[in-house]
Every structure is written in structure tokens, then in C-alpha cells.
Structure 1
Amino acid sequence: MLKHWPPLNALRGFEAAARLGSFHKAAEALNLTQSAISQQIRSLESYLEQPLFHRTGRSVSLTDAGHDLLSTAQVMLQQLAVGIRRLDQYRKPNQLVVNTTPAFARHWLLPRLADFHARCPEVDLWLFTSFDAPDMSSQTIDLAIRDDLGPQAECSFSVLHQDRLYPACHPALPETGRTTLHGEREMDWSHWQLEGGEAVGQQGKGLNFSDPGLLLDAAGEGLGIALVSQLLAQRLVDEGRLQALSAQRVRGPAWSCLVHRDSQDDPLARQFLAWLRAALGSD
């Protein structure tokens, strides 16, 4: 990392002059005087301690160093412009930023988003997924729905749904020689055993997954048997891609919600939570 950076205006002036092949045209493009462009480029050359342009009379051409810097400057300025334009989404009047896990987003929320949008078309929803629970005090998030949440300062906390777990596999998977798929936390087979779950042929070795959504996908693709979330697996069951290996169910994670204090009275957040609670209650 550089200790000191060249001025951004100097890089903009250099890029325009290099792209247009003229200090005069660069000045017109940036609504500056030609003298200002010349000064910016001289300061940049002084910072870099090498010339960027060959100057012959009133014409200019890039040195080898100038050609090298041009490609870097164009990429950097383009990325900066895109990043700044992306910030416009934070000024949308009806935006609601919702954080959740990739597994919940993919297997439960995404199939139901069309229903939510049809009911609440005025809500400009931004779905932000992360494997780790967010810090609501430092991130721009209105509410979070996850299975790894606890109370946080400046937020209201509530449990929305108590999940249940059961072993499952693809219906076409042979009964013998089944690979065991292992997850983490409650999706680990040790949790099933500690909760008194019956043996279904699970073994200590097999395939291991840190993402419960990927674990569920693997089971639905017929890779082996897995301990799955009753809530998240329902769509695969309805599609005939998963079947239970036991009638027994054990305690799973609690799906909870954090609402930032600035969003607690927001009608958009209230609409989303009302829809969410109704949808979870029907499952």
C-alpha cells in the first residue's frame, strides 16, 4: 500500500489528456483551463519522478511509462465511477435492506419473493446474504433473519420459527452403500445422536459441508444422506427430490429476527415482517 497517493484530479487530467491526445481537448472535456491540465500533469510527473508525455511544440504523445499508467488509471477510474454510482441505491426512498444466510435466501426466501413483490410492490428490497451474522450497529441493514442470531444493542430481537431436523436423501438413492453427508452445528450427525435420533446408516466418514444450503443441495442431487432443516428442505420434498429416512424429528435452530431501532417504525419493515411471519406460519 502506498504511503502517499497522487491527487485524484491529476489522474483524471492525465487520463483525459492521454485518451484524447491533447491537453487542450482534455481541458475542454473536464471544463478546466489548459494551464490547469498542464499543472496537474506536471505535478503527477513530479510525484512519479518520470515524464508521462513527449512534448513537441503543441503536440503531445505518451512515453512508455505514460502508456503503462494509462491502462491502470482507466481501470481505476472506471471502477471508482461504478462504485460511486452503486451508492445511489442507498438513497432510494423505499429501499429495505434485509440480511440473511445464503441457505435461507436460496431455499426458502427466493421461491417466495414473487409473492412478496406482488403483495408489496412498493418495497424496493435489497437482499444481502452473508455466512456470518452482521453487526447491526456498524452495517447499513434494516433487519436480519438468520438461525445464528442473538440480541444486539439498538435492535429488537424476536424468534420467528423453531426449526426441526430429520435425516433425508434422494428417493432414488440405493439403500446400501450410501455416503454420509456431514454439516456443521445442528446439521452435524452428533446433534442427531445427542437428541436421541435413531440410526439410519450414518457413518463418521463421508463428505463435509460448511454451508447448510450446499449440504441440502448435495442431498437433493443424490450424493448421500444428510441431516436437513425441515423448513429449508420442504421445497425439495415437494419436488420429489428428497424423502425422509425417519419419522423422528429433533430440535433444530431457531430462526430469529433483528430489527434496527431506526427501522422499527418503518412501514416497509413492518410490511416485510408481517408477510414473513405469515409465510413462516403456513409452513
Structure 2
Amino acid sequence: MLKHWPPLNALRGFEAAARLGSFHKAAEELHLTQSAISQQIRSLETFLEQPLFFRNGRSVSLTDAGYDLQSTTQAMLQQLSVGIRRLEQYRKPNQLVVNTTPAFARHWLLPRLGDFHRQHPEVDLWLFTSFDPPDMATQTIDLSLRDDLCAQAECSHQTLFRDRLYPACHPDLLKLPAAQRTTLHGEREMDWSHWVVEGGEDVGQRSNGLNFSDPGLLLDAACAGHGIALVSQLLAMQACTQGLLQPLCAQTVRGPDWSCLIHRDSEKSPLTRSFSTWLQANLATATA
């Protein structure tokens, strides 16, 4: 990490001059004088201790170092521009930022978002997914619903659904002998060791096979017929309805708890209450 950075204005001036091939055109684009652009680039060259342009009268062309810096600067300014535009999301009056896991968003929430939007068209929902739980104290999140949440300061914490797990596969896979079925392995409760510890019966699972860190991908793989998997009752509801999954037995075992964190600053918001009420009502009717 550099201890000192060149001024952002100098980098903007350089990027414009490099892209347009002219100090004069760069000055016009940035509403500056040509001498100001020249001064910015001279200061940048002094900082870097090497020339960035070949100067031949009014004509300029990039040095090798200039070409290198042009690529870096354009990428940096583009990323900065996108980041700044994204901040406009936080200024929307009806913005509700909801965090969850990619698996829950894709397999449970997405199929039901149309219903929520029809009931609450006033809510401008921003769905923010992450593999790790958020820090509600430092991130701008109104509500988080996940299966890996613990209580956090300045947040209310509530368990909304106690999940169950069961072994399942695509119906076509049932035509094969158990010994020929690939075993799909997940992590945490979706590891087959959890099934065994909880007293699950032998359904032909083996220790080798395919391994997944994302429960959503594990479920996708099972639906695609790649093998047998220990799946979430909650997340697999849609797949079972569509005939993409069939249980290997009637037994289920304890799964993760799906909990909700609501930041103290958002608890009294009617937007948060609308989403929370809708969420609880839909989870209360969740069945295998």
C-alpha cells in the first residue's frame, strides 16, 4: 500500500489526455485550461519520477509507462464511478435492504418475490446476498434472514423456522441401483455425518462423491440428477413441487434454524414491518 497517493484530479487529467491523445481536448472535456492539464500531468510525472507522454510541439503520445498507467487509471476511475452511482440506492425513500444467503434467495425467496411485490408495491427492495453473516453495526442492512445468525448488538433476534433435512434425488435416479448413485456432500448440517449422528437410516450414501460448499449448488446438483443429497426441507419445497426431487425415505432429521436480525434503527419502519410480517406468514406455512 502506498503511503502517499497522487491527487485524484491529476489522475483524471492524465486519463482524459491519454484517452483523447490531446492536452487541449482533455482540458475541454474537464472544463479546465490546457495549462492546468499540463500542470497536473507534470506533477504526476514528478510523483512517479518518469515521463508519461512524449511531447512533440502540440502533439503528445504515451510512453510505455503511460500506456501501463492508462489501463490502471481507467479501471480505477470506472470502478469508482460505479461505486458512487451505487450509493444512490441509499437515498431512495422506500429502500429496504434485506440480506440473506444465495441459497435462500434463489430457492425460496425468488419464487415468492412476485407475491410480496404485489402486496407491497411501495417497497423498493434491495436483496443483498452474502455467504457470510453481515455485521449489522457497520453495514447498511435493515433485515437479515439466514441459517447462520447469532444475536448482535443493537438488533432484535428471532428464530422464524426450524428446518428439517432429508435425503433426496431426482426421480430418474431412483431407477438406478443404490450402489450406482453418486453421493453429493454438503457442509455443516448437510454433511452426511450429521444424518448418521441424528439416527438417519442408510439410504446408500457413500463417503466419496461430489462436494459442495454452497447448499444452493448442492440442491441444484441434486435436482439435475447428479446424485443423492441431504437437502433442506425449506429450500427444496419448490423443487419438490416441480417434480425435480423425490425423498429417498420418509425420515427427516434436525436442520438449521432460520433466524432474523432487524437493526434497531429499522424496527419501527413500516417497510421493515411489511416485509417481516409477509416473511413470517409464508414461513409459517412452509412444509415438505
The interval holding the TM-score normalised by the smaller chain is over 0.9
- CA-CA distance at 1:22 after TM superposition: 3.4
Corresponding position: 1:240 with 2:211: no
- Where in structure 2 are the equivalents of 1:1-283 lying within 5 Å? 1-173=1-173, 174-177=176-179, 178-283=181-286
Corresponding letter in the other structure for 2:2: L
Mapped to 2, the partners of 1:17 and 1:223 lie a distance apart of 55
Distance 1:23 1:3 in 2: 29
Shift in Å, 1:146: 0.6
**Higher deviation after alignment, 261-270 or 20-29:** 20-29
The 1-side partners of 2:143 and 2:218 are apart by 26
TM-score normalised according to structure 1 size: 0.93
Q: Secondary structure at the match of 1:158?
A: strand
Pairs aligned (count): 283
SS of the residue 1:99 aligns to: strand
TM-aligned CA distance change 1:57 to 1:120, over 3 Å: same
Whole-angstrom CA distance in 2 between matches of 1:212 and 1:65: 46
Q: In 1, Cα distance between the equivalents of 2:221 and 2:281?
A: 29
The amino acid that maps onto 2:202 is A
Offset at residue 148 of structure 1 (A): 1.0
Question: 1:25: Cα distance to partner?
Answer: 3.1
What's the offset of the Cα at 1:279?
1.1
Moved more, 55-64 or 270-279: 55-64
Amino acid at match of 2:135: D
Structure 1 runs not aligned, ≥5 long: none
CA distance, structure 1, for counterparts of residue 207 and residue 249 of structure 2: 19
2-structure distance, mates of 1:59, 1:277: 67
Letter of the 1:7 counterpart: P
Provide TM-score, normalisation by structure 2. Answer: 0.92
Q: Distance in 1 between matches of 2:21 and 2:212?
A: 55
* Equivalent position SS for 2:236: helix
Go from structure 1 to structure 2 and tell me whether the alpha carbon gap of 1:204 and 1:21 turns closer, same or farther (over 3 Å shift).
closer
- Quote the offset at 1:72 in angstroms: 2.8
Helix, strand or coil for the counterpart of 1:83?
A: helix
Distance 1:277 1:39 in 2: 61
Give, in angstroms, the shift of residue 58 of structure 1: 4.1
Deviations 1:63-94 (A, max 9, x none): 44333333332232222212211221121111
Relative to structure 1, is the Cα distance of residues 112 and 42 closer, same or farther in structure 2, using a 3 angstrom cutoff?
same
Paired letter, 1:55: R
| Identity in percent | 77
In structure 1, C-alpha distance between the alignment counterparts of 2:278 and 2:219, rounded to whole Å: 25
Poorly superposed stretches of 4+, deviation over 6 Å: none
Query: Aligned with 1:232: secondary structure?
Result: coil
Paired AA for residue 177 in structure 2: E
Which one-letter code corresponds to 1:190 in the other structure?
Answer: S
Task: State the distance in 2 between where 1:236 and 1:111 align.
Answer: 11
